[in-house]
């Protein structure tokens, strides 16, 4: 693959996948840093694009790079864990007031998760990646993804439903 | 893995069919498990629905950055390719043309030096002694690359190999006006006939056995003395040794710099080339040097053979290190010269400390083991020795060292007692000759 084709291809890939990468980064490092981290992600992808063998999904590959970039920037800038951005006006099953409370509780419960559990929850529940894709992004076995998800949800359930029962 | 742990995977449809069937069966039996599944589903739905929509920005910046990065990378690669290509092309041209240039240069040098040597032989005003020593037409020309004086450093590692100073003997037969291709006369203004007559009278002894020229092309030996004279007046003359090592002529070291009050007629002038650099084809030099400088020349010659570390700017100053004279000249710092020396002063003249001490062999008087450093610092008058006794010692010393190759040098007065004609002949030392 020539450099010229790489350039055109990477621009096309960026147009196609920028939104997903940006969202992924925003949920990991915050919206303020998401643009920079996304840019770094695509620049890195451009440099190492010749190593991409097509064995995995391109999105997964980009998320993997983005994940590393997020880790790097978090380590470098010593960022505090970013709270999951909750839409306060999103659709709710029950009444509007209880939904807002639930979302706030959910945000608090998520913030109590470890970094590993939080990132697997984001990847699977919010970004919609399968276990296998999440495993590829995090460079861990599928069993690890499954285990982490189980423990993350166990902790979330304890945080949310215990508080809910206590409130009742 | 327990059913509880597989419940989330069952909810996500990530279990294989067998395990999924097992979980399904368990769910039908266990209401607690069903409640847990319900909570997991609710939680998952909350998470998926609660995530706020994120406003995307920065795509254009990212695209611009990608373009910039690619452009710089491409230009870097192009520069690399261009540079590499040019280097390869230059190397190819050099490889192709070097033999041609080399052969042409060699041929030109041979022709030039052959004509020079022939003209020297044919000149009528050359003394027989010097004429016989004029270079053959096959003589290898010394280097013209005076910049190789950087090889001066190598002097500290390699003494003057087999170049030997055999003797400095009186030679009153060579008139100071004689100039050949193999000599250069550094003349002061004439002091008149009276001075010349006195000079002849005081130097009645015939020249000592003149050392024939050795094979000056042998590797690692002194093959010529390079004289560099400036055109301006007064002239600064620089004497230095040159050697041929692995086919490359190198300046082994600078003997010294001497100022003479008139311009030097040099070979360069005769052949109409660069007058600032004259190289002698032979290993003999005739130099009429002011009296007060002649001692310094001799001392410098000896010091040069001792491989002392040069100090000062331009490497012109030689270290006056601790040096003793034995059969050969030896430096206490471990640099041992395989040179031997025998020197004599002209009758009636006061040899310098160098002259007197370097003439001394192992059996010489007590001052034989004095250091050159000390001797160099002494005034000539302080080192007066009996010339006759000195010559006898020299002859005995030379007889003991017949195998050693030598530098023969003669000093005499010509025209004026204030001038000294210095003759230095370098010859090759036989190979495998043990260092004395």
Nearest to A86 among B50, B57, B70 (CB): B50
**Residue B39's domain spans which residues?**
3-43
Residue B56 lies in a domain: no
Residue B87 lies in a domain: no
Residue B389 lies in a domain: yes
Residues B141, B235, single domain; the answer is yes
Mean pLDDT of A60-83: 81
Residues B239, B320, single domain; the answer is yes
* Partners of residue B37 in chain A, C-beta under 8 Å: none
Q: Give the pLDDT of residue B237.
A: 54
Core vs surface per residue A111-141: b (16+ CB within 10 A) or e: eebeeebbbbbbbbbbbebbbebbbbbbeee
Report yes or no: A165 at the B interface, CB cutoff 8 Å.
no
pLDDT at B10 over 60: yes
Residue B432 lies in a domain: no
pLDDT at B195 over 60: no
Listed by number, the residues of chain B in 66-105 with a beta carbon closer than 8 Å to a beta carbon of chain A are: 66-67, 69-70, 73-74, 77
Give the torsion through C-alpha atoms of B423, B424, B425, B427, to 10 deg: 170
- Select from B52, B64, B68, B81 the residue whose CB has the most chain A CBs within 10 Å, as the one to mutate to test that interface: B52
Residue B391 lies in a domain: yes
Residues B322, B411, single domain; the answer is yes
Q: What is the mean pLDDT of chain B?
A: 51
Count of structural domains, chain B: 2
Mean pLDDT of B138-163: 37
Residues B331, B220, single domain; the answer is yes
Residues B148, B294, single domain; the answer is yes
pLDDT at A29 over 50: yes
Mean pLDDT of B396-413: 41
Query: How many Cβ atoms sit within 10 Å of the Cβ of residue B317?
Result: 14
Q: Alpha carbon A61 to chain centroid distance?
A: 13
Residues B296, B165, single domain; the answer is yes
Q: Do B61 and A39 touch (CB under 8 A)?
A: yes
* Partners of residue B79 in chain A, C-beta under 8 Å: none
- Sequence-distant (≥ 6) Cβ neighbours of residue B331 within 8 angstroms: B306, B307, B308, B321, B322, B323, B337
Residues B39, B118, single domain; the answer is no
Q: Do B63 and A15 touch (CB under 8 A)?
A: yes
Q: Tell me which of B358 and A12 has the higher pLDDT.
A: A12
Q: Do A124 and B12 touch (CB under 8 A)?
A: yes
Q: Tell me which of A55 and B333 has the higher pLDDT.
A: A55
User: What phi, psi does B137 have (nearest 5°)?
Assistant: -65, -15
Domains and their CATH numbers in chain A: 3-77 (1.10.1740.10), 96-167 (1.10.10.10)
Residue B168's DSSP bridge partners are B409
The answer to whether A62 touches A45, Cβ cutoff 8 Å, is yes
pLDDT at B236 over 70: no
Mean pLDDT of B110-133: 53
Q: Tell me which of A102 and B288 has the higher pLDDT.
A: A102
Residues B346, B231, single domain; the answer is yes
Integer Cα distance of B14 and B73 in angstroms? 44
Q: Which tokens hold the place of B322? A: 């601790």
Torsional class of B272: left (φ above 0), alpha (ψ -120 to 50), beta (otherwise): left
Residue B64 lies in a domain: no
Residue B211 lies in a domain: yes
Residues B266, B355, single domain; the answer is yes
The segment with the largest mean pLDDT, out of A88-92, B156-160, B327-331, B428-432, is A88-92
Q: Give the pLDDT of residue A51.
A: 81
Q: Do A106 and B47 touch (CB under 8 A)?
A: yes
Residue B188 lies in a domain: yes
pLDDT at B183 over 80: no
């Amino acid at each position: 693959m020539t450099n010229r084709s790489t350039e055109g291809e990477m621009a096309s890939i960026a147009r196609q996948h920028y939104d997903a990468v940006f969202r992924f980064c925003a949920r990991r490092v915050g919206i303020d840093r998401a643009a920079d981290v996304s840019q770094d992600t695509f620049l890195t992808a451009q440099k190492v694009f010749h190593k991409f063998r097509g064995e995995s999904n391109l999105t997964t590959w980009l998320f993997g790079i983005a994940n590393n970039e997020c880790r790097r920037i978090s380590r470098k800038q010593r960022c505090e864990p970013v709270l999951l951005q909750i839409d306060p006006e999103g659709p709710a099953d029950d009444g509007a007031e209880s939904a807002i409370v639930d979302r706030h509780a959910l945000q608090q419960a998520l913030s109590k998760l470890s970094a590993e559990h939080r990132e697997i929850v984001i990847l699977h529940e919010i970004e919609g990646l399968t276990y296998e894709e999440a495993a590829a992004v995090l460079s861990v076995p599928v069993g690890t993804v499954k285990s982490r998800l189980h423990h993350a949800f166990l902790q979330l359930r304890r945080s949310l439903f215990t508080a809910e029962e206590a409130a009742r | 893995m327990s059913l509880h742990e597989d419940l989330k995977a069952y909810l996500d449809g990530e279990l294989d069919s067998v395990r999924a069937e097992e979980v399904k069966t368990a769910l039908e039996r266990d209401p607690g498990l069903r409640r847990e599944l319900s909570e997991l589903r609710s939680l998952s739905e909350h998470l998926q629905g609660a995530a706020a929509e994120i406003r995307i920005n920065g795509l254009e910046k990212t695209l611009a950055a990608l373009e910039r990065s690619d452009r710089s990378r491409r230009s870097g690669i192009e520069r690399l390719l261009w540079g590499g290509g040019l280097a390869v092309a230059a190397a190819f041209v050099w490889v192709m043309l070097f033999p041609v240039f080399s052969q042409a240069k060699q041929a030109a040098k041979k022709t030039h030096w052959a004509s020079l040597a022939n003209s020297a032989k044919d000149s009528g005003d050359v003394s027989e002694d010097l004429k016989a020593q004029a270079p053959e037409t096959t003589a290898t020309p010394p280097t013209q690359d005076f910049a190789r004086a950087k090889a001066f450093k190598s002097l500290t590692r390699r003494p003057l190999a087999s170049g030997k100073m055999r003797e400095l003997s009186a030679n009153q037969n060579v008139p100071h006006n004689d100039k050949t291709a193999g000599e250069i006369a550094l003349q002061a203004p004439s002091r008149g006939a009276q001075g010349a007559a006195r000079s002849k009278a005081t130097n009645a002894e015939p020249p000592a056995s003149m050392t024939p020229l050795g094979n000056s092309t042998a590797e690692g030996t002194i093959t010529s003395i390079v004289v560099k004279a400036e055109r301006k007046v007064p002239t600064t003359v620089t004497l230095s040794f040159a050697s041929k090592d692995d086919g490359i002529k190198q300046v082994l070291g600078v003997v010294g710099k001497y100022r003479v009050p008139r311009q030097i007629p040099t070979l360069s002038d005769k052949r109409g080339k660069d007058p600032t650099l004259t190289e002698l084809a032979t290993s003999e030099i005739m130099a009429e040097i002011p009296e007060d400088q002649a001692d310094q020349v001799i001392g410098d010659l000896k010091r040069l053979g001792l491989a002392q570390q040069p100090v000062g700017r331009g490497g012109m100053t030689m270290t006056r290190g601790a040096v003793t004279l034995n059969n050969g000249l030896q430096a206490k710092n471990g640099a041992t010269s395989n040179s031997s020396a025998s020197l004599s002063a002209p009758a009636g003249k006061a040899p310098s400390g160098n002259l007197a001490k370097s003439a001394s062999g192992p059996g010489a008087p007590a001052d034989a083991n004095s250091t050159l450093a000390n001797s160099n610092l002494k005034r000539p008058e302080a080192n007066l020795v009996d010339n006759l006794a000195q010559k006898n010692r020299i002859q005995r010393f030379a007889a003991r060292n017949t195998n050693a190759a030598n530098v023969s040098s003669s000093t005499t007065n010509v025209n004026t007692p204030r001038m000294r004609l210095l003759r230095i002949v370098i010859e090759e030392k036989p190979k495998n000759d043990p260092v004395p």
